[in-house]
Amino acid sequence: MASVQWHSRGRKYESEWQGCHLEGSAVEFSDYHPLKAITVTDSKSRRGGRKGSTSSTSSSSSSVALDPLSSMLDGTDPLSLFAAASETPTLPHSISAGELGRKRQEKEEEVGLDFEPWSSKRGEILSRFTTTEKLSINLFMGSDKSKAASPSSAVSEKVRTRLEELDDLEEGSQRELLNLSQQEYVNRIEELNQSLKEAWGSDQKVKALKIVIQCSKLLSDTSVIQFYPSKFVLITDILDTFGGLVYDRILTMCADPHPLPESFSADEVNDTAKETCLNWFFKIASIRELVPRLYVEAALLKCNRFLAKCGIQETLQRLTAMIRGIGDPLVAVYARAYLCRVGMEVAPHLKDSLNKNFFDLLASFRQIHGESVQNQLGLQRVEIPIYLTLYSPAIHWILQCVAYRAPEVLLTEMMDRCKKLGNNALLLNSVMWAFRAEFVATRATDFIGMIKDCDEAGFPKHLLFASLGRSLSCADPPESERLSILNEAWKVITKVRGPRDYINCAEIWVEFTCRHFTKREVNTVLADIIKHMTPDRAFEDAYPQLQSVINKILPYFHDFSVLFSMEKFLPFLDMFQKDSVRVEVCKSIMEVFIRHQQEATRDPVILNALLHICKTMHDSVNALTLDDEKRSLALLINGFIRMVSFGRDFEQQLSFCVEARATFCNLEPVIIHLIHTVNQLAMETRRVMKGNHSRKTAAFVRACAAYSFITIPSLTSIFSRLNLYLLSGQVALANQCLSQADAFLKAAVSILPEVPRTISIEGKQRSSEPFFLEFINNFLSTLLVVPDHPEQGVLYLVRGLLNMVQDYTWEDNSDAKVRVYISALPLLAAMSQESYLYTIPKVDSNETLYGGDPKFIAEINKLCETLIGQVLDHLKTLGRDEGVRRQCGLAFSLFGCLLAHGDLRNNKLNQLAVNLWNLSHKHGFCETRTSVRTLEYIKHQAQLADMSHLSDITARLSLQSRA
Amino acid sequence: MSVSLDIRLKRANKVYHEGERLSGVLVISTRDALQHQGVSLSLEGLVNLQLSSKSVGVFEAFYNSVKPIQLVSSNMEVVKPGKVPAGRTEIPFEFPLQAKGSKVLYETYHGVFVNIQYTLRCDMRRPLLAKDLSKSCEFMLHCQPQKPKLPPSPVEFSITPETLQNVKERTSLPKFLIKGHLDATSCAITRPLTGELVVERSEVAIKSIELQLVRVETCGCAEGYARDATEIQNIQIAEGDVCHGLSIPIYMVFPRLFTCPTLETTNFKVEFEVNIVIVLHDDHLITENFPLKLVRV
């Protein structure tokens, strides 16, 4: 095809703009609104009620009759159907989800959420009571046979085995596992739990019961006493599983005609189920040993519901009394804890047995200091204070159950009873733990007195103060006593010797101090902590506690100037010498700062401290840091930078940015943020000067530009660099810094060849092409207002850009290059207008520089012709099979470009346009709808003045035949 | 096997009383139609007596086991010879429970030397080459409620070294005082044995306190009889050195089958006793015996 001559179409932007305005068409709102519900007066009744499902239905007040969504859900929606299905327990041997859910619901109804559940204590106990000593599991099988002290030796073998069958796990086998480490022991117990479930699943009910009995027997063994609380937790898990299995099994037996209602009574239970239940109880009643019998019966407590109305109550009372038979005080107290726990779960309204349990505990309290306990401790070489702490979880739990929603009178009575017992530190501790914090707080002074009276040799005092502190951190003591309480408590705490004990206690009291006192007291406390923790680098072992101190202080000091004016705060931070912890702490401080700092600040104290903290975070970044971690650090630092403002003192702000850049050079997002900040600073200056820069401000904005210019190259992400160059260039232009703008844009053009063909986005390799094209289009639109450099040729930047595009190694089979060419045409067309579409105030664009000089226009036209020539060449190469579709698309977009920007009065262009139209329709890949609309547009345009030439074009454009 | 025979009694707990009707269904499930020569049901109640080897010579015990006493026996043909169709066939039946002659239906009891047992047995005779099928099923008999002769009265006890019998060296005994009471020694069999026990003081730590339920079975007649006491069960009520001065509950459920109301007949007797066994840490064993009278009320 011969070379074409380009003529840009003359544009009158003003009038076109007005012509483009849509006519406002009035909408009558009362008539119709798409979002308004259709109100229908006769509501259709729904088929198939929802059967009490609580799922939210789509309609509420207005009856939407024809809502497609609700009609889909006609009847029961799938979720509630599913729930309904699981409500009827179909699998006999498994705990169905519905049942579990119901249990939970029940619990929530009767025991409020304010009751700390056992599950949360579990983990704590397991992690606290550990041992390095060797443990043994002794599952004695038939050990009773050797115990021939009974007066009758003539019992026939048949009867004997029948009776002892229950004690045997496997006939005649005896397994004793010695020398287990703690972990092995835990695994062993877990295995037993598994084999219990398996036995149950395979219908070996007797074997399951044997396993449970054997496990609960382990609870009467107090060798390796430090591990006892954990052992209790592990084994009661098994008991809970067992209790659930039996209950569910019997419940499914009752479901025969129809499932039992939630609150069934014993009368509704059928005979078979009752008989099965009775059988279980008879079997359990014949268990020889006290402890297993007690535990297994407690595990099945809930099953009493099937037999009699007040069965649970009677059984609870009986079991409570039965515990008196346990001689070892530790075993007994844990048995009580289990009973209370089961009681709370099954029948939380039965308070009597809980209280009875507690009073029995008090009555047998002296056993703890009894002779047999002393002997045992001597044998196991366990100190009394350690031994006493073993009781804490159980007594805490019992007291928590007792005190839950208990009246004040009862609590006072309990207190008095505790007071009467000698050496009651252990009880006192649990009282403070378990009773309502308000109750303890109002009597805080009394408690301090009692703590002081306690025997020094027994329960460690710092634990008592820790418990008191815990209560005081949730409830407030009377205003007048607060200072004396703090003084009294701290007097004791500061004397605690071991740094570990000290910090555990001090950490708790920090909360109280922060809550009620000013920075002065908090500062004193911090100083004391530093004093205790510095010798021998004790802080190294106490990072979690120190961290929690910080976390407790932060919520109370939202004013960071106060926080940092505490002398000891930064020295306290210096104690975190392990990098990971240090960064953690810094992060938490920054988070609080970002959340609570309302307005930007210039307070030097805050800035210095935070800069220090941010630097710490930044310095932790190394080659191994994860991307996510970097991102979150950068986010925090950016948050800080955003909060720094020096008001009208722009220069100081800039110098802060310079400092920040030096400090945070490793975090790219921070650098990017800094560049944006500086650009914003330049624009802010322009706004303040209302566009008329003085000499001083001009120098300042040039300094800003220089800042950006030297900062951008340090970024690694190519697109960040490109976009920032462009943006900074725009900012420089807006501030009339022409040479700077030129430099930015030139720099952008010069790094274009570096753009890789693929970039990694969220860990995936993606083609960079769409981003590249987007950038170039953005760039082109900026170029319209950039005046040509006086020393360089006409359209220096445009040419430079196009040359770069030409030399860039595009992907094979890509039309991107040609698309750039096509999108450059509108720019060139816009440049050849007399007055431009947009300009920058106080910057002369090419329109004024050249004033529509014909030479300039000719230059532009020449460039256009070259571009069109290139496009046409490319179109020719696409003539073959697979390129046809692309050819069609490209031809159509070039046609569109000609139509919009070319002067079609020119015959050659006119002809070219028609040819392109035909080319794009030649192979039938054009979307008919687009073609039709284009034609319509042309016809519409042809009616306008000056555009009549378009009408004969329309005659020559034919639509694609549908054949 | 493709054929199964089962007896299902109407009552889930299988407990019946004299004079009642024992009813239920016979369930035959078979995959194919089944040829048979009649199905019959038989009901039998037996007392089995056995002499212990302790009382007589071993061989004598073997051969001279006392003749079983039949309490009830009846037989009936349920289905005439013919065919049972494939699938599940249920045949209801009903037996009157009436003692033979002037005999009484004793309560079901499984002991060592005395056994009282009631069984229902179903037999299906089949033609040559096929095994006869049979199935038996035990059911429980409870006697009619008896009226307690005496109102239950608590029995106090107090155990000290001085109250003990059968002591060889009284001086070596440690000092102790254990007090308590049983709520009654005439007990309803369906109710647990209850009471309380307090260790007032003890020089030596206590290792364990147990309740031992003992059956005393007597066989024979006036001229020669054998009386044997054997343990039924042993229930621990205290373990370890229990708190002194704090009452410990005595509580024991009478096991089913292994206990029955105290029984006295011309040929045999079944009686029960409970021992409170206290084991001290130095392995001293102290036992206090209480005869019980069990009744069904």
Query: pLDDT per residue over A640-698, tens digit each?
Result: 999 999 988 999 999 999 999 999 998 999 999 999 999 999 999 999 999 889 999 99
- pLDDT score at A842: 87
Dihedral sign for Cα A515, A520, A524, A526, please: positive
Cβ–Cβ < 8 Å for A288, A311: no
Structure tokens at A345: 């779960």
What is the pLDDT at residue A93?
Answer: 42
Q: What tokens were used for A730?
A: 């725009």
A591 φ, ψ (degrees, to nearest 5): -60, -45
Is a pLDDT exceeding 70 seen at residue A29? no
Mean residue pLDDT across chain B = 87
Kindly list the residues of chain B whose beta carbon comes within 8 Å of any beta carbon in chain A: 11-13, 52-54, 110, 112, 205-206, 209, 212, 214, 228-243, 246-249, 251-253, 255-256, 275, 279, 285, 287
A740 near A702, Cβ under 8 Å? Answer: yes
The token pair at B128 is 């040559």
* Distance from the A274 Cα atom to the nearest Cα atom in chain B, whole angstroms: 9
* CA distance linking residue B279 with residue B241, whole number of Å: 10
> H-helix or E-strand containing B4?
strand B3-9
Is-contact A677 A654, C-beta < 8 A? no
Please list every residue in chain B whose beta carbon sits closer than 8 Å to the beta carbon of residue A363.
243, 246
Mean pLDDT lowest among A168-177, A283-292, A507-516: A168-177
From A370's Cα to the closest Cα of chain B, the distance in A is 9
Q: Would you state the pLDDT for residue A293?
A: 94
Q: What percent of chain A has pLDDT over 70?
A: 85
pLDDT for position A309: 83
The answer to whether the CB of A126 falls within 8 A of the CB of A233 is: yes
Q: What is the pLDDT of residue A457?
A: 65
pLDDT of A106 reads: 45
pLDDT at A660: 93
pLDDT of A779 over the 90 cut: yes
Instruction: Give me the phi and psi of A51, to 5 degrees please.
Output: 50, 55
pLDDT of residue A168: 45
pLDDT > 70 in chain B, percent = 92
Distance from CA of A250 to the nearest CA of B (A): 14
List pLDDT tens digits, range A569-594.
989 988 998 888 999 999 999 999 99
Say if residue A379's pLDDT is above 90.
no
On whether the pTM is more than 0.90, the answer is: no
More confident: A64 or A417: A417
CA distance B34 to B88: 11
Asked if residue A386 lies in contact with residue A420, where contact means CB atoms within 8 angstroms, the answer is: no
Give the C-alpha distances (Å, rounded to integers) separating B155 from A302, B182, B189, B261, B290.
34, 5, 18, 20, 9
How far apart are the CA of B102 and the nearest CA of chain A, in angstroms? 32
Residues A477, A444: contact at Cβ < 8 Å? yes
Cβ pair B232, B255 in contact under 8 A: yes
Q: Under an 8 A CB cutoff, do A324 and B239 touch?
A: no
pLDDT band (50, 70, 90) for residue A94: very low
The answer for residues whose C-beta is within 8 angstroms of residue A133's C-beta and 6 or more apart is A224, A226, A227
A289/B230 touch (CB, cutoff 8 Å), yes or no: no
Nearest chain B residue to A149 by CA distance is: B285
User: Contacts of residue A289 in chain B, CB cutoff 8 Å?
Assistant: 236, 239
Ranking A304-308, A366-370, A583-587 by mean pLDDT, the lowest is A366-370
Task: Give pLDDT, residue B57.
Answer: 59
The SS3 call for residue A674 is helix
- Rg of chain B over Cα atoms, rounded to whole angstroms, equals 25
Q: What one-character-per-residue DSSP string does A390-430 give? A: TTHHHHHHHHHHHHTT--HHHHHHHHHHHHHSSS-HHHHHH
B167 near B287, Cβ under 8 Å? Answer: no
Show the tokens assigned to A256: 């025969």
Among the ranges given (A126-130, A162-166, A693-697, B210-214), the one the predictor scored with the smallest mean pLDDT: A162-166
pLDDT at A151 over 50: no
Residue B232, pLDDT > 90, answer: yes
Calculate mean pLDDT across residues A425-452.
82
Could you give the ipTM of this predicted complex?
0.91
Give the pLDDT of residue A147.
Answer: 36
**DSSP annotation of A852:** T
Q: Which residue of A has its CA nearest to B13?
A: A275
Q: Residue B50: CB partners within 8 Å, gap ≥ 6?
A: B61, B65, B66, B112, B113, B114, B115, B219
Helix H or strand E segment including A317? helix A311-322
Angstroms from A269 CA to nearest CA on chain B? 13
For residue B234, the chain A residues in CB contact (below 8 A) are 150, 288
pLDDT number for residue B132: 87
Produce one character per residue of A351-365: b if its CB has 16 or more CB atoms within 10 Å, e if not.
Answer: bebbbbbbebbbebb
Q: How far is A243 from chain B (nearest CA, A)?
A: 21
- Residue A35 pLDDT: 59
Mean per-residue pLDDT, A268-296:
90
Interfacial residues of A (vs B; Cβ cutoff 8 Å): 149-152, 154-156, 159, 163, 220, 270-272, 274-275, 278, 281-282, 285-286, 288-291, 293, 318, 321-322, 324-328, 331, 360, 363-364, 366-367, 370-372
Return the residue matching tokens 């226009």. A857
DSSP-derived 3-state class of residue B237:
strand
Cα A80 → chain centroid: 28
Structure tokens of B4? 């199964």
Q: What pLDDT is stored for residue A150 in this prediction?
A: 38
Token pair of A389 as six digits? 């702490």
- The confidence score (pLDDT) of residue A835 equals 86
Is the Cβ pair A288, B234 closer than 8 Å? yes
Task: Tell me the shortest Cα–Cα distance from A342 to chain B, in angstroms.
Answer: 21
The amino acid occupying position B212 is Q
Q: What is the pLDDT of residue A698?
A: 93
Q: Are A909 and A865 in contact (CB under 8 A)?
A: no
CA A197 to chain centre: 35
**pLDDT above 70 for A527:** yes
Whole-angstrom Cα Rg for chain A: 42
**CA neighbor of A532 nearest in space, from A565, A505, A563, A566:** A505
* A161 vs A611: which has the higher pLDDT: A611
pLDDT band of A824, cuts 50, 70, 90: very high
What average pLDDT score do residues A84-98 get? Answer: 42
Residue A1 CB: number of other CB atoms within 10 A?
Answer: 12
Dihedral class, residue A787 (left if φ above 0, else alpha if ψ from -120 to 50, else beta): beta
Helices (H), A202-310: 205-217, 228-254, 271-285, 290-299
Residue A139 confidence class, pLDDT cut points 50, 70, 90? low
What is the spatial distance between Cα B273 and Cα A151, in angstroms, rounded to a whole number?
A: 12
Q: For residue A105, name the pLDDT band (cuts at 50, 70, 90).
A: very low
Cα–Cα nearest to A322, from B2, B237, B13: B237
At A890, which amino acid appears? Answer: L
What distance in Å separates the CA atoms of residue A276 and residue A749, rounded to the nearest whole number? 87
Of the partner residues B229, B235, B246, the one whose CB lies closest to the CB of residue A288: B235
Amino acid identity of residue A330, one-letter, is L
Q: A789 and A815 in contact (C-beta within 8 Å)?
A: no
| Average of per-residue pLDDT across B49-63 | 64
**A321 min Cα distance to partner chain B (Å):** 6
CA dist., res. A398 & res. A388, Å (int): 16
Cα separation, A530 vs A579, in Å, equals 19
Tens of pLDDT along B166-203? 877 777 788 899 999 999 888 899 999 999 999 999 88
Average pLDDT over residues A899-917: 87
Mean pLDDT in chain A? 81
Residue of chain B whose Cα is closest to the Cα of A220:
B239
Distance CA(A620)–CA(A583), nearest Å, equals 7
Q: How confident is the model at residue A89 (pLDDT cuts 50, 70, 90)?
A: very low
Q: Note the pLDDT of residue A156.
A: 47
B239–A289 C-beta distance less than 8 A = yes
pLDDT at A22: 59
Q: CA-CA distance, A45 to A61, in Å (whole number)?
A: 14
Structure confidence at residue A34 as a pLDDT band (50, 70, 90): low
Beta bridge partners of A404: none
pLDDT at A859 over 50: yes
Chain A, nearest residue to B211 by Cα: A288
pLDDT of residue B254: 94
pLDDT, tens digit, 9 for 90 and up, residues A529-555: 999 998 888 888 889 889 999 998 988
The tokens describing A224, both together, are 């390796």
- Widest CA span of chain A, in angstroms? 132
Alpha helices in A689-795 (DSSP H): 695-711, 718-734, 738-751, 769-783
Q: How far apart are CA A305 and CA A263, in angstroms?
A: 10
Segment holding A937, helix H or strand E: helix A928-942
3-class SS at A574?
helix
Q: Which residue has the tokens 């005393």?
A: B216
CA distances from B53 to A152, A154, A874, B60, B228 (A): 13, 9, 117, 8, 10
pLDDT value at residue A723: 94
Position A64 scores a pLDDT of 37
Structure tokens at A695: 């000499």
Nearest by CB to A327, which of B232, B238, B247? B238
Instruction: Write out chain B residues lying below 8 Å of A371, CB-based.
Output: 205, 241
Q: Name the amino acid, one letter, at A285.
A: A
One-letter amino acid for residue A623 of the chain: A
Strand partners, B27: B6, B90
Could A282 and B255 be called an inter-chain contact, meaning their C-beta atoms sit closer than 8 Å? yes
CA distances from A191 to A176, A185, A186, A215, A701 (A): 15, 10, 9, 11, 74
Which of A99-108, A259-268, A752-761, B218-227 is the least confident region? Answer: A99-108
Nearest to B10 by CA among B82, B95, B80, B84: B95
Contacts of A282 in chain B (CB under 8 A): 253, 255-256
Nearest CA in chain B to A144: B234
Strand, helix or coil for residue A274: helix
Asked if residue B105 has pLDDT above 60, the reply is yes
User: Which residue in the set A149, A288, A318 is minimally distant from B285, CB to CB?
Assistant: A149
Minimum mean pLDDT among A127-136, A191-200, A359-368: which range? A127-136
Dihedral pair phi/psi, residue A263, rounded to 5°:
-110, 75
Mutate to test the interface with B, among A144, A150, A276 (most CBs of B within 10 A): A150
Beta strand B133-142 with B15-17: parallel, antiparallel or unpaired? parallel
